[in-house]
Amino acid sequence: MSTRRVTSFGMALGTAVLVGCASAPPRPPAPLSPAAAAITIKVELRLPVHDWRNSGNAVATTVYFVKACPEAPTSCTETLIPSNYAIQGRVYLLNAEPGEYRPVAADYTTAVYYGIGTSHGVNVTYLPDALARAATVQVQPGRLADAGHHLVHAAHGVCPDTADPGQLRYAEMMEPGTKKCGLLAIVADEMLHLYRALRRQVVIGNKAYPMGTIPNHFRGVSHTTFAGASNRQTLEDAREDLAPSGWWIDGQPPVQPSQGR
């Protein structure tokens, strides 16, 4: 199994369209210990029906990982682990426990105002099994693992006769018991989703979304992995992205975020 580059990483002790004035991005989660580790990844999505306000690729704001279970005799239950920070297309899973991780799904959200209210949606794409294997990383204490930069072309639905085995498994884990194959079944399920979503908060893949959010499920059918930035550039981006919470990258202290961040 291939693994991607890992960079030393530590701690300093001590989506929709936005309209209006620019504001500071949210702070990343703080490191939980001097040995805190993380994963960085970037995923672009090309869906068959794209957000009408954006003719280019959508950029994922959440990536879901699974951590490999340890070898026998120890056992574990596989769960979806959502990333917990994103900025300028770079997605991070911060405070990741040591182990082997692979990305299995990615999403972005939309919010469309219709005059009588706002419709929220989350577009979930399940990554091809080949990409999940290729982007596997080993997380080590105090280090940053780079899972790469990928473009995924997607199609509607997650069906047994066309989806990869991993896509079927993780789609069921993401939303157990819901229909993700067949137009009529999907429409009927979305109406049920809408009724439930208007009554309570929506939880998809262990991540909470606002009331009224409707999930849309896609399967990745092909992907391109880009050559990516140099190791030095990845380090510089991470140092600047995570500076507000005091992360140390490659043994170097945080840097002051540049103008426009």
How far is it, in rounded angstroms, from Cα 222 to Cα 61? 20
Q: How many CA atoms lie within 13 A of 202 on its CB side?
A: 22
Domain count, the chain: 1
Q: Which sign does the torsion angle of CA 86, 90, 91, 92 carry?
A: negative
Q: Is residue 180 part of a domain?
A: no
Say what the pLDDT of residue 96 is: 95
Burial degree of 250 (CB within 10 A; 0-12, 13-18, 19+): middle
Say what the pLDDT of residue 67 is: 95
How far is it, in rounded angstroms, from Cα 165 to Cα 32? 35
Q: Is residue 198 part of a domain?
A: no
- Per-block average pLDDT, block size 10, for the chain (261 residues)? 54 37 76 91 86 68 93 78 95 96 94 63 93 96 92 92 95 84 59 52 71 83 82 84 84 52 41
Q: Is residue 210 part of a domain?
A: no
Q: Is residue 96 part of a domain?
A: yes
pTM of the predicted protein model: 0.81
Q: Is residue 179 part of a domain?
A: no
Say what the pLDDT of residue 55 is: 54
Q: Is residue 124 part of a domain?
A: no
Q: Is residue 218 part of a domain?
A: no
Bridge partners, 137 (sequence order) = 101
Q: Is residue 200 part of a domain?
A: no
- 189 with 179: CB under 8 angstroms? yes
**Full residue range of the structural domain in which residue 167 is found:** 1-52+61-72+86-106+135-147+161-173+229-253
Say what the pLDDT of residue 246 is: 87
